[in-house]
Every structure is written in structure tokens, then in C-alpha cells.
Amino acid sequence: MRLLLLCLPLAAPQEPSSWESVGEIDCLAEGARCFGCHTLNYCNGHGKCEQKGGPGSPFANCKCDPGWGGDAFCTERTCPFGKAQSDMPTSVTEAHSLKECSNAGFCDRLTGTCQCFPGFAGTACQSKTCPNDCSGKGLCLTMRQLAKMKDALPLNDGFTSVNNTDDLTNLPEPGDPTQNISIRYDGAMSRSGLGGPTYDQNLNRACLCDSSWPVGLGPGERQQAEFHGPDCGQKRCPSGDDPMTERDETNCTGVVAAGGRGVGRPGNICHVDCSNRGTCKDGLCKCFKGFYGINCGKRTTRY
């Protein structure tokens, strides 16, 4: 009995309960070209067939259920929508309209899932990934997170009291489709008063590179991290004061940090690869002729 039940064929296709037309249209009687609901196969059970132009009209169309569409018959899946990563603005203040897969991926019409282009992620490709996963030498953080980091570039002396563990919790998942958050950047914004709400502060991401020494504008901190580059793929070399100059290049007191948003406080350190007397590769100095030492900070007596 049980087996028999299992083997029963599925019920024959029926008009879906969402059928709301006043009735199927008699195309022959109407004479004209007919787009009645039956010709739309009753939207394949994935939408409502609605008569256009009221009862008696020979025209009908499908209003597909969420997640279905792609064609007039609701046979294909649609994918999640997100704010377009790139599109044409529609006015001076409007851009990034809602687009399937955020204009940053293909929609797989069989499964309704986005296949994101490289560099994009999320159910609607609405967020960005970090280059090369930060080479395993850094954290991939959102712009909102980075804006609060005292050691994220550009260094900003407005954030010296905030440390790296702040704000790393309770953030929306990268795939979170709630994109209507209009919190301003917590970084330079609050100081300069420029800019406006940023829709992508939780979606755009970049690397905060690791460093074996503290990074920042404070005393004992260096303005440059050990690992650097967009993907943290480069490693700095031993640092030192240039033996050929009067000035101490490692003294970053009063030195404006890259990006121009902060100044080294007393005791702040500048990292000087190979004391400016050699080339740096993969963390190792190759000293110019006449200089030696792990950081090329020593001069040979004869040269």
C-alpha cells in the first residue's frame, strides 16, 4: 500500500489557486491575437495570471512570485537584488539602483543563485572581497571598521584611543542584504563634516595588514606597518637612521602621515627600510656598496 502510494504520479497540472482572472478567455471568439492565461500556462504555478484591461480583455500577463521571473511565463528563477556596484546615475544625487546580483555577477536561472564576478561576494554580490585574501597577513575589514582603527591607513589622530579589537563584533554579515543602513563613516567624517551617509560602509572591504610592531601616531608606534600593499603581500625590512644624513629619519615627531590626516606625536617612529641605504625584498635588505648590517645602517671604512 505504502509503495503504491509512493509510486503514484504527481497530480496533473492544475490551474493554480492564485488564478484570479474572471475566467479563461475564448481566444477563438475574440478572434484577435490572444495572450490569455492558458497561453502563459497559468504562469507555471509560479505567479498570478492577471488580465490586462479588465474582464473580457484578451490580454493577460503573469505577475511572478518573488524569486521567479526572467521570462513572461515565470519559468525561470530570479536572483537576489542588491545596490548596483556600478550603474548609470539617474540624477545628480541618485545612483546604485537595485540590480539583480548587484550588476556584479551572473544569475543562474535554474537555481536562482548569483555567480559573482571575482572580487565580489554575498548572496547578491553586494559586498567586496579583499585582494588575495590579504595574503594571510592581514584582516579583511569593512570600511566602517577601518574608519575606527587607529592603525588603518590613512592614520588619523582622531582615533588614537581606539584599539584594534573595537568594533569587530556585532557587524552585519558580509552577505547581509540590509543595505539601507545610513550610518556615516565614523572616520574623518565626524571631524571634517564633509560627505554624507554611505550605503556601502559595511559592504566595501580592504585589508588591515599585520605588523609585529605597534602602528599609529603615538609614542613608540610606527607610521608604517610591517606588511603592506593592497593585499598585504609585501614585507618591510629592518629599519634604521640613514648614516649619511644629519637628520634622524626614524624620528616621526611632527611628521605628517601618508594621506595627510594625522601627525606623529612626540616619540612617534618612522620606519625607514634599510636605512635608505639598500633595497628591500621580502623583508631582507640588500645594502648598497659601502654599507652593511641587517638594516644597512653601518658604513664600511673604505669605499
Ligand X SMILES: *[C@@H]1O[C@H](CO)[C@@H](O)[C@H](O)[C@H]1NC(C)=O
Residue 281 CB, shortest distance to ligand X, in Å, is 30
Per CB under 6 A, which region of 44-52, 62-70, 250-258, 282-290 contacts ligand X? 250-258
Contact call for residue 170 and ligand X (CB under 6 A): no
Query: Using H for helix, E for strand and C for coil, what is the string for the chain?
Result: CHHHHHHCCCCCCCCCCCCCCCCCCCHHHHCCCCECHHHHHHHHHCEEEEECCCCCCCEEEEEECCCEECCCCCCEECCCEEECCCCCCCECCECCCEEEHHHCEEEECCCCEEEECCCEECCCCCEECCHHHHHHCEEEEEHHHHHHCCCCCCCCHHHCCCCCCCCCCCCCCCCCCCCCCCCCCCCHHHHHCCCCCCCCCCCCEEEEECCCCCECCCCCCECCCCEECCCCCEECCCECCCCCCCCCCCECCCCECCCCCCECCCCCECCCEHHHCEEEECCEEEECCCEECCCCCEECCCC
Contact call for residue 133 and ligand X (CB under 6 A): no
Contact call for residue 248 and ligand X (CB under 6 A): yes
Looking at 178, 194, 260, 282, which residue binds ligand X (CB under 6 A)? 178
Looking at 89, 166, 245, 281, which residue binds ligand X (CB under 6 A)? 166
Contact call for residue 165 and ligand X (CB under 6 A): yes
Contact call for residue 255 and ligand X (CB under 6 A): no
Contact call for residue 251 and ligand X (CB under 6 A): yes
Query: How many positions of this chain bind ligand X (CB under 6 A)?
Result: 10
Contact call for residue 250 and ligand X (CB under 6 A): no
Looking at 17, 169, 170, 180, which residue binds ligand X (CB under 6 A)? 180
Residue 207 CB, shortest distance to ligand X, in Å, is 21
Q: Which residues contact ligand X (rule: CB under 6 A)?
A: 163, 165-166, 178, 180-181, 248, 251, 253-254
